[in-house]
Structure 1
């Protein structure tokens, strides 16, 4: 049990220390994880949480039926993959900006790039703007959205829909 706790701490420490995971204040916040089960493989650099997973750190929240956290060879968090009927990711890129919220059957968060992929029944909200489609890719720092009606992992064609609010 003591070894498992130490391994878990080693796996999650990069979340706390990596400012690329979230904005500066998020990176300094504690990580809170709730799940029914954890399967940790320190050698492979993975932690798999299952059962109504809810991970929070500052303004960042990631939920799903299953969430896999992956580390790179340097031990830094590289990706978080959430799956479920309605996986969810939210983060406030900057205190002066609105919360970014995303849904999909699969969400892949690429930490170093601060990029999220929302796959299958994808939905993205930022402020009053909304995007829906089969596949959405969002770059948090550049505020770039790329959308497609079809893509790998997407069941059937899901046309792209947008609602953009007028500039104030």
Structure 2
């Protein structure tokens, strides 16, 4: 089914991905962060590293790519990173979900990774997808998307920053694939997804 928000500033309702027991790889937050880039500037006093030029980050199953990344480490060893893209492009994030052959992928102009909170925020023309193997199952776009790895939930905010020629209002857009049912007869054909409009109580009346 396809859902469209009814207002630009509406925070899209928190969605549980696939309502499945699997979450993001829980061990990723304790894995070392490995970074490749063209240049590095390190400040030992501030415990801050700035990587620039074709930045590639790996941390367990996590992969992040962008043009520039600033990493700060707190006294407990948790890392907070901000990745930005080249002008006109998007930074990239990917992480495996725990116990299943599924991945979370996202793109945005800026990506913030908080190792302590185990949270990722996509800012500016944000997109996030859930892939089963190589097949996209769920896809969401908006101005800002926040994905919480600890409970496998995310929120999406719409706004003018997410406006595109095909979506001039900059509204949140989400496409959610139907979930398989154990009670469905084998080989039964699935009905086409329904198109639903957001309830008027969530925001402004449809025009």
Q: In the alignment, what sits opposite 2:170?
A: 158
Q: CA deviation at 1:25?
A: 6.5
Inter-partner Cα distance in structure 2 for 1:162 and 1:66: 29
Q: In the alignment, what sits opposite 1:33?
A: 35
Query: Which consecutive residues of structure 2, in runs of 5 or more, have no partner in the other structure?
Result: 1-24, 132-136, 164-168, 181-207
1:130 pairs with one of 136, 139, 149: 139
Could you tell me whether the CA contact under 8 Å between 1:26 and 1:59 is conserved in 2?
no
Q: In the alignment, what sits opposite 1:77?
A: 78
Q: CA deviation at 1:162?
A: 0.4
Inter-partner Cα distance in structure 2 for 1:26 and 1:109: 10
Matched, 1:149 2:158: yes
Q: In the alignment, what sits opposite 1:24?
A: 27
1:111 pairs with one of 100, 110, 115: 115
CA separation of 1:163/1:57 partners in 2, compared to 1, >3 Å: closer, same or farther? same
Of Structure 1 and Structure 2, which has the larger fraction of its residues in helix?
A: 1
Q: CA deviation at 1:92?
A: 1.1
Q: Which has the higher contact order (CA 8 A, sep 6+)?
A: 2
Hey, which bits of structure 1, 4+ residues long, moved more than 6 A? none
CA-based RMSD of the aligned residues comes to: 2.3
TM-score of the aligned structures, taking structure 1 as reference length: 0.76
Question: In terms of Rg, which structure is larger?
Answer: 2
1:45-102 alpha-carbon deviations (Å, 9 max, x no partner): 1101000100113311111100111112x15133111001211111113132511111
Query: Which consecutive residues of structure 1, in runs of 5 or more, have no partner in the other structure?
Result: 1-21
Of Structure 1 and Structure 2, which has the larger fraction of its residues in strand?
A: 1
CA separation of 1:93/1:87 partners in 2, compared to 1, >3 Å: closer, same or farther? same
TM-score of the aligned structures, taking structure 2 as reference length: 0.63
